[in-house]
Structure 1
Amino acid sequence: MSGFKKFLLRGNVIELAVAVVIGAAFTSIVNSFVKDLLTPAIAAIAGKPDFGSLALQIGDATISYGNFLNALVSFLIVATVVYFFLVKPYELLMARFGPTSKETRDCPECLTEVPKAASRCSACTAQLTPVS
């Protein structure tokens, strides 16, 4: 039981739990943005916001591909929103305020990434000159 307690109290598990809760809350915000703002704008331009009624009749079988198209369009819109409103601003902030110095370097023999202060490469054991 103590192993389970240690597992639960590790930082990674707590961080993952917080990320899941924040992700669930953020999902509702993004879905609302797509459903209430972007989809009506697309409907105003394209004229048809819902493809749910589209189907293909082959013999006795009906292939309802409209709901798949709805899900695909929704996914693409959500992915675009997440990329342009989260990923890009985060990348710009990290480029501007993130760490400026690289803490590692490449081994000249095997091109493995090693710490700057290393005197030997951990992969090929080549002798390295430490860099401070």
Structure 2
Amino acid sequence: MLKGFKDFLMRGNVVDLAVAVVIGTAFAKVVDAFVTVIMDLIGKLGGTQNFSSFQPGGVAVGAFLTALVSFLIVAAAVYFIVVVPMNQLAERRKTGVEPEPEAPSEEVLLLTEIRDSLRVR
């Protein structure tokens, strides 16, 4: 039973998902900071960065406007920081133009040589 659980955890999909969650959490902090900067700029231009007191005709639409502006900023950040570069990379791969892989470091070459010499024995 524990072996099956270990096999499940070590499957590539689970590890990839865990990495994606960690990276997504870190990226969320970056996007939140970016939204704060943009909202501060809006506050300096428009006098307020929180529209919750905005009530035209007695209807409280300010919270909705604040959430809408935040959503648009997050969507733009995700699009320009993640989607556009990934599309460019996919297009490059499709045309067969990929960057040259870096040469292995001296440590890797040395370890490879040691491994190969141990296999010969």
TM-score (norm 2): 0.64
Partner in structure 2 of residue 69 of structure 1: 65
Aligned length, in residue pairs: 95
* CA shift for structure 1 position 12: 0.2
Unaligned runs of 5+ in 1: 102-132
Partner in structure 2 of residue 22 of structure 1: 23
| 2: CA distance, partners of 1:55 / 1:7 | 53
Partner in structure 1 of residue 104 of structure 2: none
The alignment partner of 2:52 has SS state of: coil
| 2: CA distance, partners of 1:72 / 1:83 | 16
Cα 1:64–1:8 shift into 2, 3 Å: farther
The alignment partner of 1:99 has SS state of: helix
| 1: CA distance, partners of 2:57 / 2:7 | 57
* CA shift for structure 1 position 64: 4.7
Provide the identity percentage: 49
2:100 maps to 1:99? no
2:59 maps to 1:79? no
Unaligned runs of 5+ in 2: 97-121
Once the two structures are overlaid, the 10-residue window that deviates more, 10-19 or 42-51, is 42-51
Alignment of 1:1-132 (within 5 A): 1=1, 2-35=3-36, 37-54=37-54, 64-96=60-92, 98-100=93-95
The superposition leaves residues 89-122 of structure 1 with CA deviations (integer Å, 9 ceiling, x where unpaired) of: 22123323x1337xxxxxxxxxxxxxxxxxxxxx
| 2: CA distance, partners of 1:13 / 1:57 | 52
* CA shift for structure 1 position 32: 0.3
| 2: CA distance, partners of 1:89 / 1:44 | 31
Could you say which structure has the greater relative contact order, defined with CA pairs below 8 angstroms and 6 or more residues apart? Answer: 2
| 1: CA distance, partners of 2:90 / 2:81 | 15
TM-score (norm 1): 0.60
By percentage of residues, which structure has more helix? 2
